[in-house]
Amino acid sequence: MFRLAHLSDAHLGPLPDVTYRQLASKRAVGYINWQRNRRRHLHDAVIDTIVDDMRASGPDHVAVTGDLVNLALDAEIELARQWLETLGKAEDVSVVPGNHDAYVPGAFDKVCRLWAPWMTGDGATQPVDRDAFPYLRVRGRIALIGVSTARATAPFMANGYLREGQGRRLATLLEETGARGLCRVVMIHHPPVRHAVPQHKRLFGIRRFGRIMARHGAELVLHGHSHDPSLYFLAGANGPVPVVGVAAAGQAPGGKKPAAQYNLIDIEPDGERWHLKLTRRGLEGPALPPADIEVRELTASVLEKVLSVRR
- Over residues 34-60, the mean pLDDT reads 75
Residue 115 has a pLDDT of 98
pLDDT at residue 300 in the model: 32
pTM for this entry: 0.87
The reported pLDDT for the residue numbered 23 is 52
Digit-coded pLDDT (tens) for 181-219: 999 999 999 999 999 999 999 999 999 999 999 999 999
Give the integer Cα–Cα distance in Å for 26 and 210.
Answer: 31
- What's the chain look like in SS3? CEEEEEECCCCCCCCCCCCCCCCCCCHHHHHHHHHHHHHHHECHHHHHHHHHHHHHCCCCEEEECCCCCCCCCHHHHHHHHHHHHHHCCHHHEEECCCHHHHCCCCHHHHHHHHCHHHCCCCCCCCCCCHHHCCEEEEECCEEEEECCCCCCCCCCCCCEECCHHHHHHHHHHHHHHHHCCCEEEEECCCCCCCCCCCHHHCEECHHHHHHHHHHHCCCEEECCCCCCCCEEEECCCCCCEEEECCCCCCECCCCCCCCCEEEEEEEEEECCEEEEEEEEEECCCCCCCHHHCCCEECCCCCCCEEEEEEC
Residue 19's pLDDT is what?
52
pLDDT value of residue 296: 52
Structure confidence at residue 299 (pLDDT):
34
Least confident of 41-45, 81-85, 86-90, 272-276: 41-45
Contact 15, 76 (CB under 8 A): yes
What is the average pLDDT across 110-116?
Answer: 98
Of the pLDDT bands very low, low, confident and very high (cuts 50, 70, 90), residue 60 is very high
Distance CA 241, CA 156 (A): 31
Would the pLDDT of 99 be above 60? yes
Q: Is the pLDDT confidence value at 141 over 60?
A: yes
Torsion region of 140: left, alpha or beta (phi above 0 gives left; psi -120 to 50 gives alpha) = left
pLDDT value at 84 more than 80: yes
Q: Is the pLDDT of residue 223 over 60?
A: yes
Residue 236's pLDDT band, with cuts at 50, 70 and 90, is very high
Mean per-residue pLDDT, 113-136: 96
For the chain, domains (ranges, CATH) are 2-310 (3.60.21.10)
Of 154 and 232, the one with more pLDDT: 232
pLDDT at 302: 36
Q: Is the pLDDT of residue 65 over 80?
A: yes
Read off the pLDDT of each residue in 119-146 and give the average, rounded to a whole number. Answer: 96
Model confidence at 155, pLDDT cuts 50, 70, 90, reads confident
Instruction: Count CB atoms within 10 A of the CB of residue 251.
Output: 27
- pLDDT, position 114: 97
Q: pLDDT tens digit string along 19-30?
A: 545 555 555 444
Q: Could you give the CA distance from residue 192 to residue 160 in angstroms, rounded to a whole number?
A: 10
